[in-house]
Amino acid sequence: MLVARLHAAGDIRTTTEPVPSPAEGEQLVRVTAVGICGSDLHWYAEAGIGDARLGEPLVVGHEAAGVIVGGAADGRRVAIDPAVPCGACEFCLAGHRNLCPGVGFLGHGGTDGAMRQYLTWPGHLLHPLPDSLGDAGGAMLEPLGVAVHAHDLGHQRLASTVAVIGCGPIGLLLVQLARAAGATLVVAADPLPHRAEAARRYGADAVLPTGPGAFAAALADLTSGRGADVVHEAAGTGPAVALAFGAARPGGRVVLTGIPDDDRTAFGAATARRKGLTIAVVRRMKEVYPRAIALVERGLVDVETLVTHTFGLEDTGRAFSTAHAREGLKVVVEPQRGPAS
């Protein structure tokens, strides 16, 4: 089978390796679609993310869908939950599987990811896909799951005002979730014009300028100076964090989803203290795949049109460079597809 491995920053090589054999409790999956996530881009650009560094060449990619090969479920199309928590620690038992200290995760640390034609994975973490959802859409259920978890951390109430700072795929999913959950005003901000325009298409009532003064003035005009009840920061940059804290109303909530390049997030303590803000930090997701699938099946969230670029596995390097340049919205690799002619 073909496999795309990251050997160093910016160095992805496609090689041939044996098809893996499933262990007890696992299924062999023919991988059909893998999305490139912001965290994958950290591995690609920095050979690591946070305090995790690249040791041996790693197969990256954790947003994935595929088809089960063999056994009673042969031919079943599935979305792959990338996290394997231990299931026995106090955090798992309390329902916080995303905080499990012993979690294994596709494309992270010593666990090879999904940028390959076949992988083996625990059967209970393979979620059947509805016929109405394509393979790329199935891979998009993972970022939707992260967005659902972030939305939960925002504690959005009916008739809330919600701001989304950063309109990559997760930010755009948060715009849709805010609207589906009954927000009466959803505003968004992104410095890239094509992403700002996408926020309008996916339900933002207004897209605000990203200059601090202009942003504050526009938000004050829309909210009569009150600010947003819930603010989602989904960019991972210092300017985005500053906008998020400035946008929140007194007593509001700021949810930090973006992953910064230097593993540091800074904000003005005086602003946060004076407003009495609640700050939540997103760590992947909890048990939300069934909810994500239900949202898509019922037409409350659109994941498939977020995919703007697709590549074959032999073009994985080009796929990463496209995603790193922030072209389009979501870039997807299709491991069963041949190289571009």
Each residue of 245-272: pLDDT tens digit? 999 999 999 999 999 988 899 998 999 9
- CA-to-CA dists, residue 214 to 143, 243, 253, 263, 312, angstroms: 30, 11, 22, 28, 42
Number of folded domains that form the chain: 2
Question: Within a domain: residue 340?
Answer: no
Q: Are residues 78 and 97 in the same domain?
A: yes
Residue 254 and residue 248 in contact, taking contact as beta carbons nearer than 8 Å: yes
pLDDT digits (tens, 9 = 90+) for 133-176: 999 999 999 999 999 999 999 999 999 999 999 999 999 999 99
* Model pTM score: 0.96
The one-letter code for the residue type at 181 is: A
Domain, as residue range, for 90: 2-140+303-334
**CATH classification at residue 241:** 3.40.50.720
Q: Are residues 27 and 41 in the same domain?
A: yes
Q: Are residues 274 and 173 in the same domain?
A: yes
> What's the token pair of residue 319?
């796929």
**DSSP string for residues in 18-38:** PPP---TTEEEEEEEEEEPPH
Question: Within a domain: residue 131?
Answer: yes
Question: Within a domain: residue 296?
Answer: no
